[in-house]
C-alpha cells in the first residue's frame, strides 16, 4: 500500500489556547514514521500554528479560499494569502460550504485553479445526499461533481464524503465505500486518462478511532479527511496510527 494521508478538518472550532494545546499533544504523540498528516484549523489560528508546525512533519491546511488572488471580497481569504502563511493544502467544495454558502461545482473548480496557481494542493470534496444514495442516483451525482469541480490538468486530491455520514456518527459500510471508491477511480481515469490513476482519493464521514483500520484498508482509500475526531488528540493519533506509511 502506498503512503496514505490523514487530514484533520477542525471546522469552526479552536481558540488560541485550545489550538496550541491540541497541536502540542498531536506533535508529542506523532509517530516518527507514518502517513502524511495535515491539520486544517480555522483561518484565525493559521498564523499562530504555522510557527509551531514549521519544523515538523505535520502540514498546515486551510478550509477554503477565494478564487481571486485579491480584490473587493469582504470576509474572504485568497490562496496567495494562505501560501504566505505557510499553508500547503486547502479544502475546497466541502458539503458544508456547498450547502450553507451555495457553492456550485463551477465555483469549486475556479477555487481549485486559484489554489494550484498559488502553489497550494487542493483537496476537493465530493459526496451525495441520502436521497441520492437511496434513489441510486449517487454515481451520476459524483460523476457530475468530478466533471464540474476538477479543472483540466487537476493534480490535487479528491475527498469522498457521503453527506449523510458527515457528523452523524454513521459511516458508510465497508462495502459501500469500496464500491464507491472503485467508481470514483474509474471516473477519474475516464475523465483524466492516465493521470486519473495517480489522484489520491480520501474518505471522510464519521471516521474515528474504532473504524479507521477497516476503512483505511479498503482498496483505493488513500487516507482520510477527519472531522470531529481531529479535535481530540488521542482519537486523531489513533487514526494516524492506523494509516499506512507506505
Binding residue numbers for substrate: 9-11, 167, 206, 227-228
Within 8 A by CB and 6+ apart from 41, the residues are: 10, 14, 19, 49, 60
All three cell numbers of 37, joined, read: 498528516
| Residue 126, phi then psi, degrees to nearest 5 | -135, 155
Q: Bridge-partner residues for 36, per DSSP?
A: 5
101 is catalytic: no
73 is catalytic: no
Within 8 A by CB and 6+ apart from 117, the residues are: 69, 79
Residue ranges of the binding site: 9-11, 167, 206, 227-228
Give helix 16-29 / helix 233-242 axis angle, nearest 10°. Answer: 40
Please tell me which residue in 94, 96, 103, 220 is annotated as part of the active site: 94
Please tell me which residue in 96, 128, 161, 187 is annotated as part of the active site: 161
- For β-strands 157-160 and 200-204, DSSP reports them as parallel
Secondary structure E strands in the chain: 5-9, 36-40, 58-62, 89-92, 121-126, 157-160, 200-204, 223-226
Catalytic residues: 94, 161
Amino acid at each position: 500500500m502506498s503512503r496514505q494521508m490523514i487530514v484533520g478538518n477542525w471546522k469552526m472550532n479552536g481558540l488560541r489556547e485550545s489550538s496550541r494545546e491540541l497541536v502540542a499533544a498531536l506533535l508529542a504523540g506523532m509517530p516518527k514514521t507514518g502517513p502524511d498528516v495535515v491539520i486544517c484549523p480555522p483561518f484565525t489560528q493559521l498564523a499562530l500554528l504555522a510557527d509551531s508546525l514549521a519544523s515538523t512533519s505535520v502540514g498546515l491546511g486551510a478550509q477554503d479560499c477565494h478564487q481571486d488572488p485579491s480584490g473587493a471580497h469582504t470576509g474572504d481569504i485568497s490562496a496567495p494569502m494562505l501560501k504566505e502563511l505557510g499553508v500547503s493544502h486547502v479544502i475546497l467544495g466541502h458539503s458544508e460550504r456547498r450547502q450553507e454558502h451555495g457553492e456550485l461545482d463551477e465555483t469549486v473548480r475556479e477555487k481549485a485553479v486559484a489554489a494550484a496557481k498559488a502553489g497550494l494542493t487542493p483537496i476537493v470534496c465530493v459526496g451525495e445526499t441520502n436521497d441520492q444514495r437511496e434513489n441510486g442516483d449517487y454515481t451520476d451525482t459524483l460523476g457530475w461533481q468530478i466533471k464540474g469541480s476538477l479543472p483540466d490538468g487537476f493534480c490535487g486530491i479528491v475527498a469522498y464524503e457521503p453527506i449523510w455520514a458527515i457528523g452523524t456518527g454513521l459511516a458508510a459500510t465497508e462495502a459501500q465505500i469500496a464500491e464507491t471508491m472503485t467508481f470514483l477511480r474509474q471516473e477519474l481515469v475516464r475523465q483524466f486518462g492516465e493521470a486519473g490513476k495517480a489522484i489520491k482519493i480520501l474518505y471522510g464521514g464519521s471516521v474515528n478511532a474504532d473504524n479507521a483500520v477497516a476503512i483505511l484498508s479498503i482498496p483505493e482509500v488513500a487516507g482520510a479527511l477527519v472531522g470531529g475526531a481531529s479535535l481530540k488528540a488521542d482519537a486523531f493519533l489513533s487514526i494516524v496510527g492506523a494509516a499506512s506509511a507506505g
